Chains A and B, each alone.
Chain A
Amino acid sequence: MKNTYLIKYVFLLLFVFSAATVFAQKGVITGKIVDEANQPLPGATVTVKGTQQGAGTDVNGNYRLTGVSGTVTLQVTFVGYQAIDKVVNVSGNVTVNFNLVPTANDLNEVVVIGYGTEKKKDLTGSIATVTAKDFNQGAITTPEQLIQGKVAGVSITSNSGAPGAGSTITIRGGASINGGNDPLIVIDGLPLSPDAINGAANPLDLINPNDIASFSILKDASASAIYGNRASNGVIIITTKKGAAGKPVINFSTQLSAGTLPKEAPVLSPSQFRDYVNTYGTAAQKAIMGTANTDWQKQIFQTAVSTDNNLSVSGTAGKFLPYRVSIGYTDQNGILKTTDMQRYSTNLNLSPSFFTNHLKVNFNFIGSQTNNRFANNQNGIISDAVNFDPTQPVTSSNALYKPYGGYFQWTDPSAQDGLKSNTPLNPVALLEQTNDKSKAYRGIASLNLDYKFHFFPDLHANVNLGYDESKSNGSTTIPTDAASNYLQPGAANGSLNSGSYSPYNAEQQNKLFEGYFSYSKDVKSIKSHFDAVAGYSIQDFKNIASNGLFPFISGGSTVYSNSEFTDGLVNTTATNNYNSYEYLINEFILTSFYGRFNYNYDERFYLTGSVRSDNSTKFAPGTRTGTFPSGAFAWKISNEDFLKNNPVLSNLKLRLEYGVTGNQEGIGDYDYLAQYSLSTSTAQYAFGSTNYQLYRPGAYFPGRTWETTDAANIGLDYGFLNERITGSIDYYYNKTKNMLATIGQSALTNFGNQITGNVGSMENKGLEFNINANIITTKNIGWTANFNVSFNSNKVLKLTSVAELTGISGGTGNYVNVDEVGYARNSFNVYQQVYGTNGKPIDGVFVDRNGDGTITSADRYNDHSPDPKQIFGFSSDFRYQKWFIGFVTRANLGNYVYNNVASATGIQRNILNPIGNLNNGSSDVLVSGLTGNGSNDLLSDYYIQNGSFLRMDNAHLGYNFGSVFKGAGDLKITANVQNVFIITDYKGVDPEITYTGNGGLAGVDNNYYPRPRTYVLGLNLSLK
């Protein structure tokens, strides 16, 4: 069936096109279209206004239009450039050339808004868009880094410098405590699952940034409410590149980059360390110092050379099938030795139209394979390197270290495994003796059908089908001579094993079916335009995981053998694995109805309303369905008579917006059910001599539902000098109600003393401002600049009890972040340090704030929060003839950091460790002189440090050769530096730390993988 229709269709098209050529014997218009730098613009479209006639430009920017006669208006359009009309009197052959000027902010630009598009000038919500031409440059491996620093109110903090590591994206401060603060991400109409799978560094790193055409960021609720109970943290809509008109264009880009460690964590040098131990240490401690001078951080970090290569072909096949195919290969090495990521990716886009554009089809496939090698517990390795005694060698021929592969370790001959317990392990050994590898695959396929009714063209029917599947498998292999797994208990018979092999699998499926009708109508008589959307969607998310642990069997005399690991040593038989494979399947289904209505009167007054009703299986029947309405009003003041044709002010629009959104993350898929879970084999209990695995009743969450955020926004969009200066200013107030937070449950009432329930409320309010300027736009010189700033203030309004967020390093059970009513989320809760007259902290002396004569936890106070109070982004690009230069900088102000590296290591008790070894420590110890012997020392406000910073993310210089190969290609060469510099008073390595916390640590600096400084050389060649 399908095939015969296709053939018929092809014949039809051939007929239509041949018919068109029959007329073409009147006049011929030819010409060349160039950009502001006089470079040809391939792929621009020239049309004769009011007719169907048109042509595209070839690789040299030339076009040819035939069969035109009389006086016609030619219009040239090209994405990212201002359209130009020219009136031409055609008699015979004429030549008409066009010089296009780019527009940074074209009001006619079409913006993807979710279930449809809207022209930028008609938007009523607070929506930011960033298209390919404004993306950040350089060695960018994950999509979100393309827009870092570009959008007011959107904070993108990379989680670490590890290859492929993701970022924490926070829009307007985030809406929750435990419900998650990550925005919903939609790719080509398919909302993604919020969860990463085991074995992939982050869910977005499976997508090649080079395939992305644009981002739309729905910041306020009037825009995002159409996404209902997943929209509280904003929505990011990513659209991938589509096929272009005309002959195939081949684009090839390649990058070579070198990443370096910008700064080591400040620790004592070997000589400072010796002085310190000799000054303060006991005779025994002095005696265990070694003779080496090892910079452990240098030992684990490297200069990482990486490449990124992309090839794409885009064009239209057989006149009716626009296509784009791309392949990409990225090999990113980490600056932490052994870590790397290789990604093979492909993207296929087909966007044919049928029935004279009545049926538009868009098929998109994104496929990738990522091979990762992680450093298992990489933060632990970095901590160990910061912490390790610099007087000890990396390896030694001493027989003592032979069982551990020759790596130096802290030993204790009386211990069975010969290792001194609770001492750090040699970080180089940890890196090199662990092989933590994974392969992750992802395929995202989406098919969008847009049918315009034949006899009622104002009405469209749309069907979206989407399927997203990720699969990964990985394993951690530790050889038998690795100290980390040396002589571990193995089988139940009590034998000891060394090394281990622990494989895991994970799989995630996300299926979408969606259908909606859209209606659009211009009623000229009453100067009105209406459009409406109504639809239904069902989406099913499934997550499947399994893992296992197999100790190597090294019984009898081979226990101490130092043999190289081979697969042959792995015993995967059932009798010897003590942690059998588990399969965990988590699934939830979301069914939704949604609708939106837009009205504008005379392009002066705009009204938008939307509503979505979601039904989520994450909640008990009865509390499943929620309704999320929104409304917005906009007044385009610049279209009023008194401002129309104003020579200075080209755009002025006032927006008022209000909406309700929801959030259902951060909770289990089945928690509302009364469930029993079985304990692991290491958590059994015996009656007589029989072991039983235990059935534990799970905590119970009846009545729990999503949290909701009421968001109000007032904004002003402006444009001056024919849109050469544009921007907007927005004030928002978001209040989260029924906030999901983890709080105490009264004892004896439940099987958990804490539950994550709808217990609180929180507000975010703030101001956003951005300005874009095309300062100079001439043939030879171009200069653009973008500046944005956002102010956000977060406050917990209601919480039934103070939630303490645990887990800092040093000691057990210490917490430094609290959520408390009246304070910002994740505020630091600490003791107030007393300082001596010399300005140094007095060891163990704190202010008795409540004056009861003793220092207890009641004396702790909330001192600052990790949230930045102001976030700035500033970028600029400058062009002189064929040279171009640009940079992107960002600054966060008012964010505080708990310097856990200093608090856990920069104390005498850590360096002269009572456990019997020596550790290096933060050089802060020389300044503070703290001993760390007091029980409250870790929680001193001395360690709460101002983390404000200014960072230049990127600086680049390039040369545009323009036409090469006799006009067959275009060549551009760029040199980049990423993470150029950072200006900060912060005393640790890098103060830019994830601050939303999602119910855990926030703003705590504890030796995460440092962000590299990367030098990049790139080449871009396009061929026609």
Chain B
Amino acid sequence: MKKFSTKVLLLTGLLITSGLISCDKNKIITPNYEVTSEQVYSTFSGYTQTMAKVYGAFALTGNQGPAGSGDIQGIDEGTSDFFRLLFYAQELPTDEAVLAWGDPGVPDFHNMNWSSSNVILLGLYERCLYQITLCNEFIRESTPALLSSRGITGNNATVVGQYVAEARFLRAYQYANLMDLFARPPFATDATAVGSSIPPQTTRTALFSYIESELKAIDPLMVAPMKNQYGRADQAAVWALLARIYLNAEVYTGTARYTDAITYSSKVINAGYSLISNYDNLFLADNNKNTTENIFSIEYDGNTIQGYGGTTFMTHAPIGGSMPASFYGISGGWAGLRTTSALVNLFPADTVTSLKGNESHFPNLGNPDTRAEFWSNGQSLAITDVTSFTQGYAVNKWRNVTSTGAQGSNINFADVDEPLFRLSEQYLIYAEAVLRGGSGGSNAQAVTYINNIRERAYGGVAGDIASTDLTLQFILDERARELYWEGFRRTDLIRYGYFTTSTYLWPLKGGVANGTSVGDFRNIYPIPDQDRAVNPNLTQNPGY
């Protein structure tokens, strides 16, 4: 028996020892469903897929379409989408759009009483900065030294080099948004390692200089206009962004840069672009074909690029009331967005008042200006109650059907791409910069460009203007007619001094039926409380 007990002891001892041996205190267990950064960046395809994320962060809200693994935590994932939130911030406080929903933060825009705790602004701020963080990381991982150490050479290295230039462009684009919206965001580039320090706050002027110098620096590194793969930015996108910030430079820095605006809009205009023939086809499911006009777009796809923001929002939110969902290629609308009479009244009267029997006049009810894509059946023009969908005309501009009328690939998610830059805007920048005293352009050329836009809209010369018609007010109105709901209106109204003042009042401005002025500090949005709580370097914008 003793022998046995000894064996038991031995066995016990052995088990304990084997247990001890298997314990490696520093053992790293790696997940099977994720990869380390070394693995990702070891191949060219890994670089491409990381770059796809840098771009994809525009369109998607996370790693799982349509939702479920969001990039931005702590807020509803649908409230972290780039274009949807840009739309909220740029259109809802203006005469172009109202939204029926009472989601947190939304009514503040109509009432123009947003605070620094507004969750929509937080989402937009975080999204822009998140994309910059991705750009910084990509650029850091793509230095020539790192590329060669990882065996990425030859043509692959050249393509990664282009990716880097594009990442710098996207970063500049998002900084430009932040400059416009928040004026003084935190600032970091690829020079600062992840998590190493709390970023300092920049100023609007410094940010302007940075964006300008970045864009000029990458100009020669970008692929030539219209020569890059669809979905990627090219040289013309860089010029178009420069033209846009120069047009607004006086707002941002106090120094007018209209001559530069003319220079760079001209570069885009002369790069070989032309307007597509039919305005109605601009925001349809197959608008990825509109490559002659669209300079750079965010891509969406009903099956492979799914989310609840972007053009899925743009094709669903304005649909409700008596609007047949099938006209819009969707399963049903979200009954939210409409526009105010201020926008409708910029257009001539519709020639058809009811769609019944006149379906062929969809989407613009026979309006001589085909850009008047409004739905008035069952809708009142005037709005007394923002929350009632049937008050205010709905907008037919975005539809998940193709130019031949076919349904998009998915009835729940749109295929429509969202152009961030298109040729019309460059024409309008040119014209406005000329009128505002920039040199290097001519009034006659400006009139020609405006008439290019209007001839497409009217299907002929009926809407042409004369040189005497070209005033700053006309250009602002024309921008509304051409670019409404594309995310420009707030910036435009600020440039004209209209956004907060009583110079221009529109229905419901500031939450009052006939409109009211609000404090000028509202030309700039507040730095969100949430980021100020964790970044002591940030001071609040004045007035908040």
> Interface on A for B, CB 8 Å cutoff?
5, 12, 355, 358-359, 412, 414-417, 419-422, 449, 451, 454, 461, 463, 465, 487-489, 492, 494, 496, 513-515, 536-538, 578, 582-589, 591, 615, 617, 621, 624-625, 669-670, 673-689, 691-698, 700, 702, 742-754, 800-804, 806, 811-815, 854, 856-858, 909, 914-916, 933-938
Contacts and interface: CB of A to CB of B under 8 A. Distances in A.
B424 to A, nearest CB: 25
B473 interface: no
B9 A461 contact: yes
A578 B50 CA distance: 22
A729 B16 CA distance: 41
Interface string B1-29: 11011001100100110011011011111
B306 A683 contact: yes
A461 B533 CA distance: 55
A849 to B, nearest CB: 14
Contact of A584 (B33, B133, B229): B33
Contacts of A801: 530, 533-534
A463 B334 CA distance: 63
Contact of A676 (B15, B40, B113): B40
A858 B544 CA distance: 12
B304 A684 contact: yes
Contacts of B195: 700, 702, 749-750
B100 A914 contact: yes
Contacts of A12: 1
B63 A673 contact: no
Contact of A583 (B32, B186, B388): B32
B63 A679 contact: yes
B324 interface: yes
Given A682-B304, A751-B130, 14 more contacts: A417-B331, A419-B332, A454-B2, A461-B9, A489-B411, A515-B16, A686-B301, A694-B53, A747-B130, A747-B199, A749-B195, A812-B76, A812-B101, A813-B78
Interface string B53-93: 10110011011111001011111101100000000000000
Contacts of B154: none
29 contacts: A414-B326, A422-B332, A487-B411, A515-B19, A583-B32, A589-B23, A674-B36, A676-B39, A683-B64, A683-B307, A685-B56, A686-B301, A687-B55, A691-B301, A694-B50, A694-B53, A695-B53, A744-B531, A748-B132, A749-B133, A749-B188, A749-B197, A753-B530, A812-B79, A857-B115, A858-B117, A914-B389, A936-B102, A938-B102
Which bucket holds chain B's interface residue count? Answer: 35 or more
A803 B326 CA distance: 42
B25 A615 contact: yes
Contacts of B56: 679, 683-685, 694
Given A676-B50, A680-B64, A746 B199 contact: yes
B158 interface: no
B31 interface: yes
Given A680-B63, A693-B49, A746-B534, A753 B126 contact: yes
Contacts of A414: 324-327
B318 interface: no
A689 B9 CA distance: 69
B29 to A, nearest CB: 5
Contacts of B301: 684, 686, 691
A355 B63 contact: no
Interface in B188-218: 188, 192, 194-199
B266 interface: no
B387 interface: yes
Contacts of A743: 534
B332 A415 contact: yes
B64 A751 contact: no
Contacts of A933: 102, 385, 387
Contacts of A578: 303
B316 to A, nearest CB: 8
Contacts of A538: 19, 22-23
Nearest to A803: B74
Contacts, number: 371
B304 A358 contact: no
B33 to A, nearest CB: 5
Q: Is the interface of B mostly helix, strand, loop or mixed?
A: loop
A685 B334 CA distance: 26
Contact of B65 (A584, A683, A687, A936): A683
Interface stretch (B104-112, B267-275, B346-354, B452-460): B104-112
A489 B400 CA distance: 14
B103 A355 contact: no
B230 A688 contact: yes
Contact of A449 (B12, B66, B119, B130): B12
Select the residue from B12, B73, B118, B413 with max chain A CB neighbours within 10 A: B73
Nearest to B199: A748
B14 to A, nearest CB: 10
Select the residue from A489, A693, A747 with max chain B CB neighbours within 10 A: A747
A683 B100 contact: no
A857 B117 CA distance: 7
A744 B198 CA distance: 13
A441 to B, nearest CB: 23
A416 B331 contact: yes
A359 B4 CA distance: 11
B200 to A, nearest CB: 10
B335 A673 contact: no
Nearest to B3: A5
Given A536-B20, A680-B65, A696-B71, A744 B533 contact: yes
A695 B46 contact: yes
A575 B132 CA distance: 36
B320 A359 contact: no
Nearest to A582: B33
Contact of B302 (A358, A489, A674, A858): A489
Interface string B301-331: 1111111000000000000110011110011
Nearest to B334: A422
Contacts of B101: 811-812
A421 B332 contact: yes
Contacts of A417: 331, 411
A584 B31 CA distance: 8
Nearest to A698: B34
B356 to A, nearest CB: 14
Contacts of B48: 687, 692
B12 A746 contact: no
A690 B36 CA distance: 24
Contacts of A747: 125-126, 129-130, 133, 185-186, 199, 531, 535
B137 interface: yes
Contact of B25 (A461, A489, A621, A856): A621
B326 A621 contact: no
Contacts of A934: 102
B214 to A, nearest CB: 16
A683 B34 CA distance: 16
Nearest to A617: B29
Nearest to A587: B29
A591 B25 contact: yes
Given A615-B25, A617-B27, A687 B231 contact: yes
Given A677-B63, A679-B64, A748-B186, A489 B535 contact: no
A746 B194 contact: no
A682 B65 CA distance: 4
Given A748-B199, A754-B74, A814 B104 contact: yes
B23 A591 contact: yes
A404 to B, nearest CB: 14
B409 interface: yes
A419 B331 contact: yes
B392 interface: no
B35 interface: yes
Select the residue from A359, A754, A800, A937 with max chain B CB neighbours within 10 A: A754
B399 interface: no
A695 B5 contact: no
Contacts of B324: 414
